[in-house]
Amino acid sequence: MEASRRWILIASLTILFVITIFLTNDAFPFSLFATNDSSSSELRPPPRLAYFISGSVDDGERLKRALQALYHPLNFYAVHLDLESPLRERMELAEYVREEPVFSMVGNVEVMTKANLVTYRGPTMVTNTLQAAAILLRKSPHWDWFINLSASDYPLVTQDDLLHTFAYLPRDLNFIEHTSDMGWKESMRARPVIVDPALYMLNKSDLLRLPLRRSVPTAFKLFTAVRGGVGLSRSQESKRLSRKWGEWDSPGRRKDWMARGPRGWEG
């Protein structure tokens, strides 16, 4: 009995040794321990993000901080301090971007040197964002998402982690937190008639609310954003700009707006 057990043990060890040799030398047409790498092979190249970071008076240092935290060589950036900020502060921002070695070497940070006067919640806030998107579209055709932020924003994750996550998403996906439940905004924002003084003045002031009311449109449904920040795909941003540019009769007026900024929307 002892001899038979000894031979069974020797035979088992021999078979195990032979199987190990076959597996390590790829003698089998398949491996029992092979992993499925199809998911990694289907992973697309990392996306590129286009950031617009804006600020106002006394936001110069905060804007630099946000730019440093958000910076990645694959991304593109447009930064803007509005006309209310002192000229010295705007020049310091331009000098900082120009003299930063990484920014100048990669060349992916654009300073909007022609400052626009921007009114919070006014049309000039929208047109200023559209101008930044137009600049980013003109500077580079290779980004995938447009994200607008303010100088007071700060990222919670690194850009490497964010780009890795976005690499798994469809490139035409948009990020807009919105609702059709207008609530109090229907009477306070949708129906009043307002005038943005930044369209024709050089000093910032609040929106002018006229003693007029308009009816809520019935041809389309109004939505309101829950948060101001959005992430729009390149295709969506191009469509949005195309609709605005289509309001002009000639390409010359569009080019003039690109040079002048939101004031070009006055017609």
Q: What per-residue confidence (pLDDT) applies to 204? A: 79
Strands, E assignment, 91-241: 109-111, 145-150, 178-179, 192-195, 208-213, 224-225, 231-233
The confidence band for 33, taking pLDDT boundaries of 50, 70 and 90, is very low
CA 101 to centroid of chain Cα atoms = 24
Q: What is the pLDDT of residues 38-73, one digit of tens each?
A: 444 465 778 899 999 999 999 999 999 999 999 999
Helices 87-99 and 60-70: crossing angle in degrees, nearest 10, is 30
Question: Which amino acid appears at position 20 of this protein?
Answer: T
Domain ranges of the chain: 2-34, 49-171+230-266
Q: Is the pLDDT of residue 253 over 60?
A: no
DSSP 173: -
Integer Cα distance of 124 and 241 in angstroms: 15
Q: How confident is the model at residue 165 (pLDDT cuts 50, 70, 90)?
A: confident
- What 3-state DSSP class applies to 210? strand
Sign of CA dihedral 26, 30, 34, 37: positive
Task: State the pLDDT confidence band at 82, using cuts at 50, 70 and 90.
Answer: very high
Q: And the tokens for 96?
A: 């900082």
The terminus-to-terminus CA distance of the chain in angstroms comes to 105
Q: Provide the pLDDT for residue 234.
A: 67
- Angle subtended by helix axes 123-139 and 234-245, to nearest 10: 120
Mean pLDDT of the residues in the chain: 75
CATH code: domain 49-171+230-266 is 3.90.550
Q: 57, 86 in Cβ contact below 8 A? A: yes
Cα–Cα distance between 145 and 49 in angstroms, integer?
A: 5
Contact assessment for residue 78 and residue 113, using Cβ atoms and an 8 Å cutoff: no
pTM: 0.69
Q: Name the phi and psi angles at 225, rounded to 5.
A: -80, 135
Give ∠ CA 97-236-220 in degrees, rounded to 5.
130
Structure-model confidence comparison of residues 99 and 261, the more confident one = 99
Q: Which residues contact 125 (CB under 8 A, 6 or more apart)?
A: 118, 119
For 108-192, where are the alpha helices, taking DSSP H only?
A: 123-139, 159-166, 185
Could you read off the pLDDT of 234-246 as tens digits, one per residue? 666 565 555 544 4
> Which of the residue ranges 35-44, 174-183, 198-207 has the most confident prediction, judged by mean pLDDT?
198-207
